Structure 1
């Protein structure tokens, strides 16, 4: 009898502990409690809160959230509110994560997901999957009666970018479209898709049965565009992270897929320095006139790989940052910090971390704590003796972010640089980066992450650059439909043709 009772109680606890769904009821009282904590976290710890929005605008979104909570009843409702708020701030390092038990349940859902990945090509959202029920490359017009433009706009909140950038959000949507659709619209048994083939002006309709979470991602990993965009998603080996190739007597191509090559103390970083030194010594010896710098797959990495690379592409003294500040000198709201250390022990061990922040950010002015001039970010750097002095053609894309966009912004600011491609998700004038903080909302256990360093990058003003946008290309070029089908690189072909024309 005791064994039977124990088994029953264990099964109840198991159901309660592991079977929670994002569609479960969640009380407004808990939402209000977590929302109050969320606001305190942003105001006390997030230096990027008012980077792109005024206090009045942020207050207005908080008022909107209060109203939405009054209409909300599920865990997913609250998650969507938090996603909307963090996206509105405008930092690509903002992130809103489900706790493990909810994420696990989501991955186990066996229906309700759109079956195919999609991709933005030539201003349209196309099916990016071959041999499906809807033909490869067909343009989606609507899903379940909702215009695709409206669907996409509603999904923007799940993938954060710097400022008011939109192009970068397409990177998240092309990867997680089915999951984002499920978040906003819920699970669907069927998807009525209105589409149009490239060879026709007539629309067609197809009813697609939903698939599981895992099936969608299996389709994504078998996406048609994989041969073209696989570098962005791979766990790159060292020899895949960067490369150089001279293509003719006057032109070379330097490709950097990531700046994640370790710090000054690592062998991988030292290997990269040796690569740069030998490459640019060779470029100088060959007297090349043109250098294509391709960072289209570069989503970030570690210091100082970005600024060291820039030293080979500039003739000016420079800094990584003109200015860096945070909004506190002691870690605020410690009990909500995302840490495995028990709450009652945190005050005992936080002193060292607070002293580190106080040493790194010693200057206080108007509630902002500014970085020391002795830190590497403020170091005045010299051009390398083998720095390239010819024509630079910088290839960028919406995937460029963080350290990748900081580097690209500095190169884009050179007078000898022509920028080609599509707007980056990372900001031109600055971003929030370096140190990441995470907090756990107490009732929902939703994790909210953001970077605490408010950074002003060392770049010149440019007429085509807005403060709240990514790097804007001088020549906007995106992959064409025909090149998408053929896995051809439209932007590289355009650039090499431009160089050939300029040479003549």
Structure 2
């Protein structure tokens, strides 16, 4: 059992940091995707310089988080040992109310009797909001240099992140102003337990408009005719079966066929709104199959892909799904066999993907020929952002909303691997396939950033107070003016 206040010898922490670095150099193909070697070496020099004296596990963890986030992959995840995190979260130590970032302001997102709904928070316990938000970015990874996606993590886990960053608090002195007012007010609010923190989040004011960003959608996809000339296709996740043979995927493919056959038979429907704002990703080939109904040209999933290894390095630190040694050996062999099959050739110290795993694909015969309007948000990640990139780069789509957290040009994905550090038992997870998406360069798309919309539309405070769907209403107006 870990003690919350126990200090770890600097020697043991440096051993773990060294292994953390070596694992990533050997196994993580995305290590230098957004940062050069000098920058990566520099952050490790900083990290080692922070470990001169014994320190608590939580402080060492925050150093590892800074590195994990700096690399720039939303599939990166570094986690505390389970028993430590449970112990650390005991007692009334959490900020009581959910918050939401709206146009770079921290807004109270809960109806209560202490601080009115929609109030802007300027500081907590004397720490300015701007400083708080910047300090919490490391707790939620995004692709490249993206910042917008961090609002998703902060929106769901602000109280938890605040406690990790600034320690357990008995109360919170909140400096705030009422909606659309300049005068600053101060209120002291009591901290709450982890259970109440979670319950309050479930009762947040914005639930009707953002429930799908944080919960599994019961209705994963839908199709509606919303006017004589406009249809709406929504796909809230690509977690639709495990592979191309799964019955859930086959049902989805059948549904897509019926929807787009209907559009093909009704040429008067000239506009198609494709809403993927809640899509945090999922499994192949759901994203690629969906795209086949929107494109007029042959396409590939990616233009290139590679991994760093065929034989897993640091197997002594590997986290297995299996518990028995014999089954662990089989699990490792299966993993390596799949890697060798898909990435057989070593070229310039990279194992390159065999093209049979990345074939040239054709548009569906019923692919939509009219005007596409793609709705995007900071929630979009992984397979969701790959799909958004293909649509934004290779169709006539007008893209509306906010920058995605997943990269436009590429990402590290597909195949996750997890390691455990020997001393602290902190786990670190990342995806090993470095891929470049099959998209063209565009004037408004920036390396290291997510998909940038053609029309940048975010919710205003007034729309938040009414739970309005700002982007959808904007899109309908845009269609009507055309």
Same fold (TM over 0.5): yes
Are the equivalent residues in 2 in contact too, given 1:323–1:456 (CA < 8 A)?
Answer: yes
Query: Out of 62, 76, 89, which is 1:80 matched to?
Result: 62
Residues 96-152 of structure 1: per-residue CA shift (max 9 Å, x gap): 111121122134x11221111110113311000101411110000011111101000
CA distance in 2 between counterparts of 1:21 and 1:487 reads: 44
DSSP-derived class of the 2:287 partner: helix
- Report the CA distance between 1:342 and its aligned residue: 6.0
- Report the CA distance between 1:472 and its aligned residue: 0.5
Please show how residues 13-162 of structure 1 align to structure 2 within 5 Å. Answer: 17=1, 20-70=2-52, 73-107=55-89, 109-162=90-143
- Report the CA distance between 1:356 and its aligned residue: 2.5
Aligned equivalent of 2:229: 250
DSSP-derived class of the 2:164 partner: helix
Give the direction of change, closer, same or farther, for the CA distance of 1:309–1:152 in structure 2 (3 Å limit). same
CA distance in 1 between counterparts of 2:6 and 2:471 reads: 47
CA distance in 1 between counterparts of 2:148 and 2:122 reads: 19
Aligned equivalent of 2:189: 208
Are the equivalent residues in 1 in contact too, given 2:294–2:395 (CA < 8 A)?
Answer: no
DSSP-derived class of the 2:399 partner: strand
- Report the CA distance between 1:284 and its aligned residue: 1.5
Are the equivalent residues in 1 in contact too, given 2:98–2:155 (CA < 8 A)?
Answer: yes
DSSP-derived class of the 2:248 partner: helix
Give the direction of change, closer, same or farther, for the CA distance of 1:29–1:226 in structure 2 (3 Å limit). same
CA distance in 1 between counterparts of 2:129 and 2:5 reads: 24
The reply to whether residue 274 of structure 1 matches residue 254 of structure 2 is yes
Are the equivalent residues in 1 in contact too, given 2:7–2:54 (CA < 8 A)?
Answer: no
CA distance in 2 between counterparts of 1:361 and 1:300 reads: 23
Aligned equivalent of 1:14: none
The reply to whether residue 284 of structure 1 matches residue 264 of structure 2 is yes
Give the direction of change, closer, same or farther, for the CA distance of 1:22–1:299 in structure 2 (3 Å limit). farther
Query: Out of 295, 314, 321, which is 2:295 matched to?
Result: 314
- Report the CA distance between 1:471 and its aligned residue: 0.5
CA distance in 2 between counterparts of 1:468 and 1:37 reads: 27
CA distance in 1 between counterparts of 2:435 and 2:129 reads: 36
Give the direction of change, closer, same or farther, for the CA distance of 1:129–1:352 in structure 2 (3 Å limit). closer
The reply to whether residue 265 of structure 1 matches residue 265 of structure 2 is no
Total equivalences in the alignment: 479
CA distance in 1 between counterparts of 2:209 and 2:325 reads: 47
Please show how residues 79-478 of structure 1 align to structure 2 within 5 Å. Answer: 79-107=61-89, 109-237=90-218, 240-262=219-241, 263-287=243-267, 288-339=269-320, 340-341=322-323, 350-375=332-357, 378-478=358-458
Single out whichever of 32-41 and 190-199 deviates more from structure 2: 190-199
Pairwise CA RMSD: 1.5
- Report the CA distance between 1:270 and its aligned residue: 1.0
CA distance in 2 between counterparts of 1:142 and 1:135 reads: 16
Residues 186-206 of structure 1: per-residue CA shift (max 9 Å, x gap): 111121110011142100001
State TM-score, norm by structure 1: 0.93
Residues 405-431 of structure 1: per-residue CA shift (max 9 Å, x gap): 000110011351111000000000000
DSSP-derived class of the 1:484 partner: helix
CA distance in 1 between counterparts of 2:339 and 2:473 reads: 48
CA distance in 1 between counterparts of 2:479 and 2:280 reads: 26
Which of 1 and 2 has greater Rg? 1
Aligned equivalent of 2:473: 493
DSSP-derived class of the 1:413 partner: helix
